Structure 1
């Protein structure tokens, strides 16, 4: 079963825009899990423009599914992970001023650095995932590092989806097949939504997890959080006319 991890960064963005504690990030995480989410994802950045360090500590005892923390492994981030010890850490090479993550790691160039980080987290019992583009060389590099999983950056897939679905998904299928052969778990995330998620899943049904935030929270404004989570979970199923 492919798990749905809900990224709640946008909830924190809304709260921070006004100050105070409305909406309450912890309560939303609790509700997401109650409504069927299989995990909670946060991506704390150095400027704390959405998720704050305090949020991560507040969430830790309340996430009873899986807690996935994404981020660039700076010394501060590594220190945070060692204190929280989430289920999974996803290493993302985003710059401090990036609006959102927009590319994966060069796992060849940064092999030594990533190997040290992955080894440190794994020694603490934390599952590790490396954010990568659907590039076969980078996936082989991730395998050489010893990570548990990769997360495929699906921004380009979402961008091309409406123009040519088959062309959009093809490099991801090839990448996921290689990852599977190499013994890597495969996660996916970025710009996945109710329109493109099922097509992606049907072509890569062995996905371990999808992490979705922006589109899911936008849909929840219209549909409500409970119905939205159920709709996304339904996308992670084969159509009835298929096995």
Structure 2
């Protein structure tokens, strides 16, 4: 079958842009300042989208142990609060999250998310289980919400340095939120943990370009003007989904 030579060539699809730490921070600042998003609103959007992506990657029916138990390890900054929101939504989706949050933030916003989890009867651990306990104590999955893109990966202090050592040893799957803990957001790392699943937020960070596992993009809310300004070339999300597998 001959095609006429004057048919227009299909537009080339631009690849998704992987953000530097500086660009990710600039986008968040614009959302808060110019677009009047609230910090609590952004954390809620991201945490909810993470929970939906995790439910897709690890459906209830696939979890082998008797209960669909999930250990959510939360750090002291915004990434930890996204983990708290994620845990609350997983509880609503009938998973059984437990939270380890060793250094609670003094910020009232983060405290609000903590109270919301407590009111959902989500247990908080006072210590991180050992590798043996993590494997034998019926956790199906660990969610890494420890260190986000804002953290200097060269300055990981206790208790987080010890937590990362433990998480590097375990065999159960790990899902990291936005940036795997111990990685530099701007470059792939060999120092941090090696999650099975990465859920990038807003747009993927540069370090995710070489991520070998299952990679989701979550948080479908960015105003079109910001997408255009930063040339994000975000993929078409299917239907009404708030996440997509990259």
Please indicate the TM-score interval, normalised by the length of the shorter structure. Answer: 0.3 to 0.5
Q: Normalising by the residue count of structure 1, what TM-score does the alignment of the two structures yield?
A: 0.35
Could you say which structure has the higher helix fraction? 1
Computing the radius of gyration from Cα coordinates, the structure with the larger value is 2
Tell me the TM-score normalized by structure 2. Answer: 0.35
